[in-house]
Every structure is written in structure tokens, then in C-alpha cells.
Structure 1
Amino acid sequence: MSTGEDSTVRPQDGHAAGRTGREAGTPRLAGVDAARGLALIGLIAVHVLPEENDATGEPTWSYLLFAGDSAALFALLAGVGLALSTGRTRPHRGRQLAADRIGLAVRAALIACVGLLIGYAMPEDAPANGILLFYGMFFLLAIPFLSLGPRSLFAAAGVFAVVAPLLILGLQDALPDYSSSNPTFQHLRSEPTAVLAQLLLTGAYPALAYLTYILAGMGIGRLDLRARDVQARVATIGAGLAIAAQFVSWILLYAAGGFRQLVGSSPGLDEEALMEALIFEPDVDRLNSPWWLAVTTPHMSTPLSIAWSLGAGMTVLGVFLLASRRLRVWLRPLAAMGAMTLTLYSAHLVALSFEVHYDEPYLWFLVHLVVAALFALTWQSLVGQGPLEKVVGTAVRAARRAVLRGATAHRT
């Protein structure tokens, strides 16, 4: 998600600003913004459009295309953005690194506050689980990794892809249930342990699992993303990872007997119900078998579901980077939306809170999409950086300058 970081680099402080999204040195990576715009469309589709066909019970095209993967793509691209704004292929060191870390902490706090405020607008039976509060946690957890190069970041991502699902499965009985799908400041004060557990492990976007996407994105952002061969490798490796995840899942579930084990160990789940659960998530309070780790179901945060979503996200990113070399003008609406997703996503959640979309979901999906695209194109042409992106970016730059000024004063 575009959360104040940019795809351009200022020589003096590593951050981009300016009305046009360009600066004298390096232009924006339009492919990154366009991929982020597609992720926004995916989240809007998941929130507004139905998951299944009422007549057949089959999953809809929007669910199959976007469920789980859009949020993962957002996190992957957030990691790319962090790398681009903290040195690109040469991670910052010394005071620049300290300024990056303080700036990221400020960004995390502001984004979390936006998420907590939106929680007040959401009804009890919310039409969507907001991700912004989780993003605050993502960024806080990413702070220690800002100095690492691509190999270390990819290795760390692999560790979290394995360890986080084991923690989620192993600690599910010990951790408190969360009280709200969209926590507010009140929940944070009254139930801090439950909110923390939700952010880290039990929520819709558990930070320890999603750190896989953040770190992988940071590793990708440390590469030379303007090189055609790098762009092609990102797409190719991503496609291979996604295919491998599905193949391994199939082997474990059907050749190695995992499907039968799940049917036998899950009360109330016969074969038909389990097949549905593998598409739409199991409707159970607790997962009672380690064989659940073999599924690629959206939002399950298993090693293979993470691998699938990461691979799909890498493929999308690589394809858009390649496409932007020749189709930059055609990608402009997507890129404009992707450059201000914090603003557009927040507005989307507030609009959902009125709950007027249930009767005509396809109409309202179109309304959300058209309004977002027109607003993004108009605002970017007339003003530049998105409204919330501007607020967050200004605060981050001020925090970074304070750190850098302090270093200069100390030396003199």
C-alpha cells in the first residue's frame, strides 16, 4: 500500500516528494504503482462483490482472482516501497539509517491511527476487516531489517513463512480471541493483549505471517528494478513459486493422504464440506490437525498459502514492471490509483461503513472503481501526492530531518 513512501529517491534524504511524483534524479517506477493500483481494485472487489454464486454455490471470479492475494500483493509492494525509500540497492547506513528507522516508526504510528479511527465508523458486523492497523505493526516489525541486503531479506522472509504458521497453529488455544474485526482506541485501551495477539497472530492479516511479504518485497526493492532481466526474473521466479506451492499442496493432500486425515480429524467436516473449506476457509473455531498447514486456502496463513500468494504477487509485479516499459500511458489510471492507495483505501472503507452496497454489489463495485480512478487522476494532475500520503510523508520527512540535523549539530 502506498503509505507515504515513494518510488522515487531524493539524493539528500532518500525520500521523494514534489507535485508530479518525479524528481530531478530518478522517475517513479510506474510498474510498482500500477501493481499497487491492481491490488487496490482486488481489495475493493473482495469487499464489495459476493464470494459465491447464489445459484451454484461456486466461488465467483472475483473471489478466485483476488481473495487473500490482493492483501499479500499490497504487503509485498509496501516492502518494495520501503527498500526504494531507504537506499534502493545500497541500504542506508549510519545516521541515514537511524533517520529511516525513526521515519518508519512515525509512518507506522500515523497509519495505525488512521486504522483505529476508521474502526469507529465500522458497524459491529463489519463489511470488511481493515488492514491499516495491521500495517502499522508490519512497519514496526520491519524496522530492524532496513539495513539488510537482498539475500538476508529473502532468507528472513523464508523463516517467517515457516515459523509464523507454526506459531499460529500452536498458540491458537493460548491466545485470546479478538473482540472486534476493526479495533478502535477504546479496544486498544480496554483489551491491549487481545489487540496485540490479533495484530501478530490471530487477526485477518497476522503481522508475523505477513512479514514474509514485507521482507520479500524489501529484498526485491534492493535489486535493480529498472533492469529488464531483473524484472523478468521476478516474474518468472514468482510464477514458479506459485505453481510449486499448489503442486506441493496437491501432493500432501491427495497423494500423501492429508485430505483423508483432515476429514477424519475434523468433526462436522465431511468430504464435501472440506472441499468447500479448502476454497472459502474452514468454518471452525480451532484447527485441530497439522495437516491444515498443507492447504493454500486464502487467509489461512499456512506456509503454502503464503508461498502461493507471494509467488502470485511477484508475478504481477514483474509483469507490470515489464509492461510499463512500453505501456506507461495505458497504465496511468492504475498507477495514479496506486500512488495514493492510503487515501483511496481509507475512503473505500468509510464508504463501506454505510452498508449500501449489499443489494447492488456490481453497481457499487463500479462506482467505487470509477470514483477512485477519476479522483486519483484529477488529484495527481492538479496537486500531486495524495492527501493522506502528503500528511504521512510530511511527518516522516520532518522526523528524518530532525534526526539528520541532530547528527550535523553533534559533529559541529
Structure 2
Amino acid sequence: MTTSRQQPHAGHPRQNPAGSPAGSAGTTPDAAAAGADRPRGRRLTGIDIARGLAILGMFVAHLGDDGPEGRHDPEWFVVADGRSAALFALLAGVSMALANGRGTLPAGAVLARARLTTLVRAGILLLMGVFLVGLGTPVLVILPAYAAMFVLALPFLGLARAWLLLGAALVAVVSPTVIFLLTTERADGGPSPLASVTGEADPVELPMDVFATGAYPALVFLAYILLGMAVGRSALSSLRVQLALLGAGVALGVLGWGTSRLALDALGDGASPLARRLVSAGAHEYSTLEVVGNCGSSLTVIAVCLLLTRPGNPVGRAFAAVLSPVAAAGAASLSVYSFHIVAIFLLGNDIVWYPVSNAVLLWFIAVALAAAWLWRRFLGRGPLERLLRAATAAVVGPAPPPAGQRTHRPSVGA
């Protein structure tokens, strides 16, 4: 993700991350399932590792060294640009499904409670995001947009996988197209419809807009949320499902980025700004083809992480053990994300604007992974994850026991 420095270097904005959308099976801080302070039950370690990798990508985007031309140094760090935010959003959708029935669709009172819980969490994430934005770091904080994504996802919480996939496809096509039509200058050089109304420069980026023109447009990111919910309603422990995710991920990546490359070459340099914007798949362009490509990379990462950590064989258990610090960071993604912004605030914005090497990046990664592993090992759930869960329970009430589970009552003589 090219994300988060505001940009002393052309083409490399440094204001963004992908922060993240725990309950059993890898639910995230922003979509935490009910449970004790210590995680209970089997988590999908691969989901936690995928989320942890998204955090590392966010660190790279914010703190990695830039070469003399404003490019990543080393250049392969470009893999983090745009993809980390998409992976975080897609995993937030996975977590929403895992926290709300998994393969069993919520309905009736259960669905109403799920929507209320999601709405409350969105409000808490918005407050956290406003606080982090107020620190004034050069990081484009994703949490306010995350809150908007959660609100947009409310009508979809009770839908089956096929409808979620259809919704994701429609959002990926319609949202970028409508936004680009409204915010991109015309072929004759005239202002876009929205620029004509607001007086803003094209392409229009309205201040404080988290839905359409901001750094993380929720109307576009909803496609990742819905696809993630469809993934979360799948049997993620199944080898067949994992291989299907891998195949779909590779196919979508080739379709999105390959089609974009061919279309840009066919259009040539004389194409209108709107035409080039519609077919560009560059990081943070938020076109349909970028969304398709990012969905592909996200599914591929999730599939590989699940395949590498299958618990039924020694190799899977070995990978899970080796990558446990990354999994711990992923399980506490809200805390790791938020604290790294606070650390940037305390250390000064120059570590983002003017990195002279990747030493600061490596220190951030080492401290984050060590702290997350130790916290999870001895204290369980992350600190902000606990706060989010407690605040949600205070408003919504504790989660009811699973169906069929009775509350223990002592006998009369006890």
C-alpha cells in the first residue's frame, strides 16, 4: 500500500495504512467475537498470520526508506503499496462472518444483535480514529473509514455467500465508476461535475470524506468487506477451500493487473483522464481493476497462510510456531496499528518523512512482534481489543451462550 506518508516524494504518499478490521478462529479486534480475555478455542492461525503480514506491509509503507527518486529501497517493498489496506479490509469482512455465525446465517434477534454490535464497534473505532488523526502524524489513519465500512456492511450481515459475492462484484464495478465520473476532469479539460459544484481541483478529494473521495473510500472498500464475509462463511479449515481460494486469488490478480496493463497500452498517451483512471490498477487508484487485483493478492495471501499452517501435519505446526510472533501481531492488530501511530507521534514525524535507512522500520517491526508475542503469551487478548470488547458489551450486553448450552445452577444442597 503506498500509503501513509503525506508526500515529500512524488508518487509516494505517506499518509495511510491499513489498519484493521478475537474470538475463535481468527476474528479481528474490530470485529471481535465474544469470549474471555484470554483467547479460547481453536483460532485459524493462518488468518492471524495474514493479518500480521498486512501490519508489516503497513509499517513498510509508513517507515520504509525511499531512494533518490522517491521509490522504495529495496524496490520489492512495492508489494506493500495498496495491497496491505485491501488485505486488512478483506480480513475485517472475514472476521465479521466468523463473529456472526460463520456458516450459519444470523436471523431474527441474532441478526439484530449482530447489527447493533457492529454499529457500536463502528462508533468506537471512529472515536479511536479521531484521536489518532488528532495526533497530527503524517499517517493517513484508516480507522474513520473503517467505521464507515462497518456501517455500510450492516445490511449484508444476514446474506448467504452467493449474495455476498454478487454484492462485492457490483460494488467493485459501480462504486469506482460513479466516483470517477463525478470527480475526474472531462476530456476537453473542463472540470468534473463535483469540481464544478465545490470549486475543488480534479480529481476531487473532499476534506473529511471517508465514503467516496478520501484516502480509503468506504464505498469502494465495501467490496473487500463483502468478499471477506463470503470467505468467512466458507469452511476455511478445508484443504479444498484453501486450494480454491489460492486458485481464485491468482486468477483475479492476473485478471485485474493484466487487463489494466493491456488497456493502458491500447489507450496510449492521448486517452482522456477519465479513461486512463478507469483502467489504471496503480496503488490507491481505487479503480475496478485495482480492486480486482487487490482481491486476488489478498485471497492468495490468505490461502497460502492457511495452507502453510494446517494443524494436521508437522510442517504446518512448525510454520505456525515459527510465525507465531506474526500471528500474535495479527491477533492484536488494532493495538499494534494504533500504538505504532502513537510511537510515530512520540518519536517525531521526521522518521516518516526523512528515513535515511530501514533501521527505524526494522526496529518498529522487531518491537511490535516481540511485544505482541509476549502480550499474547502471558496476557491473552490485546489491550485495545479488550477495551473494544468491554465497551461493546457495556452497550449491547454480554453475548448469549451458544444454543443448547445451559447456565449452571447449583443444586439446592450445594
Please classify the TM superposition score into its range, dividing by the shorter chain length.
Answer: 0.7 to 0.9
SS of the counterpart of 2:106?
coil
1:17 aligned residue: 35
- TM-score, normalised on structure 2? 0.80
Task: Find the aligned partners of 1:39 and 1:57 in 2 and give their Cα distance.
Answer: 20
Task: Find the aligned partners of 1:321 and 1:83 in 2 and give their Cα distance.
Answer: 17
- Tell me if structure 2 keeps the 8 A contact 1:5–1:15: yes
1:42 aligns with 2:34: no
2:280 aligned residue: 295
User: Partner amino acid for 1:18?
Assistant: A
Aligned equivalent of 1:333, options 325, 334, 338: 325
Aligned equivalent of 1:160, options 145, 162, 171: 171
Aligned equivalent of 2:262, options 240, 251, 257: 251
1:122, distance to aligned residue in structure 2 (A)? 1.2
| Gap runs ≥5 in structure 1 | 179-192, 266-287, 406-412
SS of the counterpart of 2:276?
helix
Task: Find the aligned partners of 2:361 and 2:399 in 1 and give their Cα distance.
Answer: 44
For the structure 1 residues 110 and 4, does the alpha-carbon distance in structure 2 shift closer, same or farther, using more than 3 Å as the test? Answer: farther
2:411 aligned residue: none
Aligned equivalent of 2:360, options 340, 361, 364: 364
Alignment of 1:46-85 (within 5 A): 46-51=61-66, 53-54=67-68, 60-85=74-99
| Gap runs ≥5 in structure 2 | 1-18, 184-191, 201-205, 311-315, 402-414
1:261 aligns with 2:270: yes
2:16 aligned residue: none
- Tell me if structure 1 keeps the 8 A contact 2:26–2:331: no
Alignment of 1:282-361 (within 5 A): 288-325=273-310, 326=316, 327-353=319-345, 354-357=348-351, 358-361=354-357
Task: Find the aligned partners of 1:43 and 1:235 in 2 and give their Cα distance.
Answer: 23
User: Partner amino acid for 1:121?
Assistant: L
Task: Find the aligned partners of 2:399 and 2:36 in 1 and give their Cα distance.
Answer: 22
Task: Find the aligned partners of 1:62 and 1:102 in 2 and give their Cα distance.
Answer: 42
- Tell me if structure 2 keeps the 8 A contact 1:228–1:322: yes
Higher relative contact order (CA 8 A, sep 6+): 1
- Tell me if structure 2 keeps the 8 A contact 1:4–1:392: no
Task: Find the aligned partners of 1:5 and 1:177 in 2 and give their Cα distance.
Answer: 47
- Tell me if structure 2 keeps the 8 A contact 1:8–1:22: no
Task: Find the aligned partners of 2:249 and 2:297 in 1 and give their Cα distance.
Answer: 6
Size of the alignment, in residue pairs? 353
For the structure 1 residues 6 and 75, does the alpha-carbon distance in structure 2 shift closer, same or farther, using more than 3 Å as the test? Answer: farther
2:149 aligned residue: 138
- Tell me if structure 1 keeps the 8 A contact 2:63–2:355: no
Task: Find the aligned partners of 1:249 and 1:3 in 2 and give their Cα distance.
Answer: 28
1:385 aligns with 2:381: yes
For the structure 1 residues 2 and 381, does the alpha-carbon distance in structure 2 shift closer, same or farther, using more than 3 Å as the test? Answer: farther
1:114, distance to aligned residue in structure 2 (A)? 0.5
CA-to-aligned-CA distance 1:327-372 (integer Å, 9 cap, x gap): 2212211110000111111111122232242244411101110111
1:120, distance to aligned residue in structure 2 (A)? 1.3
In proportion to residue count, which structure has more helix? 1
For the structure 1 residues 359 and 177, does the alpha-carbon distance in structure 2 shift closer, same or farther, using more than 3 Å as the test? Answer: farther
For the structure 1 residues 207 and 214, does the alpha-carbon distance in structure 2 shift closer, same or farther, using more than 3 Å as the test? Answer: same
- Tell me if structure 2 keeps the 8 A contact 1:199–1:205: yes
